[in-house]
Amino acid sequence: FHEMIRFPPPGHLLTALLLFILIIVYIDYRLPPQAATVSYGRNMRTVEGRRPRIVVYNRVPKTASTTFTNAIAYDMFKQNSFNVVHLNLTRNRYVMSLADQSHLVRNLTEWRERQPLFIHGHVAFIDFEKFGFPAPMFINLLREPLERLLSHYYFLRYGDNYRVGLKRARAGNNETFDDCISRLGHDCDPSQMWLQIPYFCGHHAFCSEIGSRHALEQAKRTLVEKYLVVGVVDRLRDTVALLEATIPDFFHGALGHFDSLDDNRAHLRNTKKKIAPSAQTLFLVHSTEVYKVEREFYDFALAHFDAQFKKATNGSGKAEDAISMPPQYHFEKIKPVNPYSNL
């Protein structure tokens, strides 16, 4: 039997083995980087060593965040194959300890089974890079500060169209905002407007100092440097269009879906009853330092959004153009012709 099977000399076996190893190493070296990712339709799910796909929406209360989260994120996750998670902080806080921030950042970044991930919750900005992890894509919405306070004031008294049967904290208290201002009440205190700046300023100690110019400047820097899109409530449709144009993996088809919603779905959590403040009340509130600082931040954010939207629509100002506008760039003079050939 041994005479029937002739094995090659040991030297030839060793040569063949070395040749096989060299071929494997060469193929691995020549494979393009894209080969390390796993594709699922429109979305690219991360694998080990790849940048995580996470959108963080640290939603400010009473800024149409319920409408946006439910009518967009929770309606679109199946169509665009991403996961949605609500972050709920204990006792309605919006700031976290340093240890909790570190744990959250690591948890989200390494939660590969849930990526691509859209996470939302009432929490101040967290700097992922400070903890040694890649930054996610941050988005948000802002509202004119007094309008936000008025909405919250009457929401506590009359509730909204979202959870109709739920009794709110000030149910039965029909005091108007004007009357509250005249008696220097707590619910209408201008300091209650100090919220949008802290949400963007982050977890620094000075962020909670009401009226702090230092916090204002930090919030501006964070908005420009760390956030991809920050829209405004009065321009919600434009915001949705800009997000679809910028992050299609998550928001493909979002504008068309938003346009198809009936009025109740497109305006979730409308406060049932709001009484417009008097001219005197407006004058008193607008004269406070906290309003001036919060309004400066809002105007800054609106100007930044306007500039982004203008470029996205090539100056037309039409939300549809943000999505349909062809790229304003092209590639040329590409050498070598075959990127995988020897140079």
- Active-site residue list: 120, 122
Q: To the nearest 10°, the Cα dihedral for 318, 321, 220, 66?
A: 80
Q: CA-CA distance, 252 to 237, in Å (whole number)?
A: 14
**Identity of the amino acid at 121:** G
Q: Shortest CA distance to 121 belongs to which of 163, 60, 76?
A: 60
**Helix, strand, coil content of the chain in percent (nearest 5):** 50, 10, 40
Which residue stretches of the chain are H helix?
10-30, 65-68, 74-80, 98-110, 145-158, 177-182, 196-201, 213-226, 236-246, 248-251, 254-260, 263-266, 279-286, 289-312, 319-324
In terms of C-beta density within 10 A (0-12 exposed, 13-18 middle, 19 or more buried), how is residue 64 classed?
buried
Pairing of strands 43-45, 38-40: antiparallel
How far does CA 172 lie from the centroid of its chain?
36
Q: What is the DSSP letter of 168?
A: P
Residue 95's Cβ-count burial label (10 Å; 0-12, 13-18, 19+) is middle
Residues 6+ apart with CB under 8 A from 89: 96, 121, 122, 123
